[in-house]
Amino acid sequence: MNIAAVPLESHDDPQASQGRVIEPGTVDLAHGAILYLEGISVSFDGFKALNNLSLMIETGELRCIIGPNGAGKTTMMDVITGKTRADTGTAFFGQNIDLSRLSEAEIAHAGIGRKFQKPTVFEAHSVFENLELAMKVDKRVRHSLMAELDSAQRDKIAATLAMIHLDDSADRPAGLLSHGQKQWLEIGMLLMQEPQLLLLDEPVAGMTDEETERTAELCNTLAGQHSLVVVEHDMDFVTRIARKVTVLHEGSVLAEGSMDTVQNDQRVIEVYLGR
C-alpha cells in the first residue's frame, strides 16, 4: 500500500489517527530530498524558538546542525518528530508525508528515528536483548524475549552489533556499559527499526576521545545508507563528519555550506565560533 493514497486527516479531527496505517518504505523520494521544512515558526510564551525556518535534507545526506544554545536546534527536532507542533509553516517527510498530520508514534513508524542526548536503554537486559526488543516486528503479534528468532533476525542483530562496535559485548548487561557504549547501543536500537532518517542529538556529549572517534566512524558509515541530521557542539567531531553544515541562530538559518565556508563566515564567528 502506498502512503500517498492514504488520506491523512487533520489532528483537529478526534478520529484522525484511528484506523490509519502508516506503511514504512513508502516515502516518495523521487525529487531526491527526504525532509522539507518551510517557513516553520514556533513560539513559547512569546519567545520565538523557531522563526520562519526553512531547511531541506537530501536522501542519504549527513547534515550537521550547529549553533549557540537557544538557536532552535532541539525545537527543530521536536517539530520533525511531532513532539511540538509548528505555529506556521510546513514539514514534509519526502514528497508525500505531511508530518504535521501524524502523531509521534506514526512519524517513528513512517521511518524517522531520534536519539536524544541522554541514552535510554534497558539496563537489566543484555546488549543483544536490547537490540532484539527494538527490532521492527509486526505489532499485531505479541512479541517477547521468549519468542524464537529466525536466522535472518539473528544475522541482522549480529550485523548491527558489529556496526556499533559492541559485538564483543553482546551478552553484557546494558547497565554495565560505558556512557559512550550506551550511546552506540541506542543508535543500534534505532537502526533495528530501519529508519530512513536518523536524528542524533549531541551523540558524543560526555564521550572519551576514543569513543568520539569511533562515533565519527559510525556516522560516516551510516551516511548514504540512511539520511542523518546531527546536532552537535563538539566542533572537532563535526569537522570529522561534516559534508554540509547548517548554522542556526535565533530560530533561523544563519549560514549554510561546507565546514570551511561556515567557519570563515563572519556572522558565524561573531555569534557562535568566536575568534
pLDDT in tens, 66-96: 999 999 999 999 999 999 999 999 999 998 8
The confidence score (pLDDT) of residue 145 equals 58
Cell of 167: 559485538
Please compute the mean of the pLDDT values over residues 247-260 and round it to a whole number.
95
The confidence score (pLDDT) of residue 3 equals 33
Task: Find the angle CA(25)-CA(117)-CA(212) to the nearest 5 degrees.
Answer: 95
The confidence score (pLDDT) of residue 23 equals 55
- Is the pLDDT at 1 greater than 60, yes or no? no
Please compute the mean of the pLDDT values over residues 236-249 and round it to a whole number.
95
Global confidence as pTM: 0.85
- 116-160 pLDDT per residue, tens: 877 889 999 999 999 999 986 554 444 555 567 889 999 999 999
How many CB atoms are closer than 10 A to CB 185? 26
Residue 233: Cβ-neighbour burial (10 angstroms; 0-12, 13-18, 19+) = middle
The confidence score (pLDDT) of residue 137 equals 59
- 3-class DSSP state for residue 135? coil
Distance, in Å, from the CA atom of 238 to the CA atom of 244, rounded to the nearest integer, reads 10
- 8-62 pLDDT per residue, tens: 333 343 333 333 444 555 777 777 899 999 999 999 998 999 999 999 999 999 9
Which residue in 107, 81, 83, 164 sits closest to 130, CA to CA?
164
Q: C-alpha 42: how far from its chain's center?
A: 20
- Is the pLDDT at 221 greater than 80, yes or no? yes
In 38-126, where does DSSP find H-type helix? 73-81, 104-110
- Is the pLDDT at 222 greater than 60, yes or no? yes
